[in-house]
Amino acid sequence: MDHFLYRDSALFAEDVPLSDIAATVGTPAYVYSTATLTRHYHLFKDALEGLPNLVCYAMKSNSNQAVIKALADLGAGMDVVSGGEYARAVAAGVPGDRIVFSGVGKTRGEMELALSGGIRQFNVESEPEMQVLSAVATALGKTAPITIRVNPDVDAKTHEKISTGKSENKFGIPISRAREVYALAASLPGLKIVGIDVHIGSQLTDLAPFESAYEKVVELTHQLRADGHEISRLDLGGGLGIPYTRSNEAPPLPTEYGALIKRVIGDLDVEVEIEPGRLISGNAGVMLTSVIYVKEGEGRDFLILDAAMNDLIRPAMYDAHHDIVPVVEPEPGVVQLPYDIVGPVCETGDTFTRNRPMPPLAPGDLVVFRSAGAYGAVMSSEYNTRPLIPEVLVKGDQFAVIRPRPSFDEMINRDIVPEWL
């Protein structure tokens, strides 16, 4: 469920007409719903009720500070994968003891930043990283709490570019080597083992891969405890998918996911951490855009929008589907025609979808891409010297720009021409 609904034939974000945002802010723009962010966070908290838990929002899905603060104020922790994301979380007021640092390539500088500012744990992904973290922590006179990310060699049955738990993926250490790697961690100064980390991929639409991975983690927990290690936390990652279409085929609900965790993990006497990102922010946002031209082509027609692949790269990168709907609700029974929906960037890849049925549209008409709150603005660029598009947060009947659109001068003046040119 989201809070982008038609009222009297006009599409609203909560209690704000999207046409009002377009008139004030311009298009294209991202629009987020505070009510949807809040609802989705509580779905996970409620699903884990009865287990000690921390829901750590995966900031990589949408790292605007207003979004971070809205979730942090609800009690959410943060899962960060870079020093920049750590700095964003801290700037938004998230305490260090609610920040988990993931990622395969943490640098010495990032480790120093997090150890100095406070950190809940590092999810360590390799022996070389572990040795560097030990050296950095020791030099700072700190102790780094760690989990070790194990790769369970489980096929998440998702897109190959977002699968992270198979043996050929770059993430974690093989679970078959976990005991020797934990023994190494226990021997290194400056480290404190607190648990195990696992994450098998993104946009999972089936609970079976989760169950397979978590059962392996349960077995490993017993083995590591028998070896004398303290395993008080299990970081189970994220990855639960969202419905990108309005069809009847929907991914499992957080309640079903929570029931699985309780059934598989519940007897271990551990604190459970999960790292949802897409399911919290994905359907909490839309991309608002307008039609520039309707173009007749050879055997096909095109809707040319003012949004492009640099604004929303998911279709070009992942062949991803987004429902695209007009802001003015079409009359019942209106004849829909097939269009290729494209942007103005000088690339054939700047195609959002092909042969998509749409009601008749004209230049200036507004349309929205649904389910665009995750991996939209965070993956955008200024390709073709197109300004990053604004982000807008709605709460009830009010809205605010939470990232403004830069001017051409602001973009160009970031360049520095050497004096010898």
Query: Does the active-site annotation cover 346?
Result: yes
Rounded to whole angstroms, how far apart are CA atoms 291 and 352?
13
The Cα–Cα gap between 199 and 236 comes to 6
CB of 272 within 8 A of CB of 343?
Answer: no
**Sequence-ordered list of residues with C-beta below 8 angstroms from that of 64, at least 6 positions apart, any chain:** 32, 377, 391, 393, 402, 403
Can you tell me the distance from the alpha carbon of 73 to that of 95, in angstroms, rounded to the nearest whole number? 11
Identify each DSSP E strand in 279-342 by its residue range: 285-296, 301-305, 324-326, 337-342
How far is Cα 358 from Cα 345, in angstroms, rounded to an integer?
22
Element containing residue 366 per DSSP (H, E) = strand 366-369
* 201: DSSP letter: B
Q: Are strands 10-13 and 4-7 parallel, antiparallel or unpaired?
A: antiparallel
Q: Are 231 and 225 in contact (CB under 8 A)?
A: yes
Whole-number Å distance between alpha carbons of 70 and 42: 12
Catalytic residue among 1, 226, 335, 346: 346
DSSP H/E element including 38: helix 34-47
| Residues involved in catalysis | 346
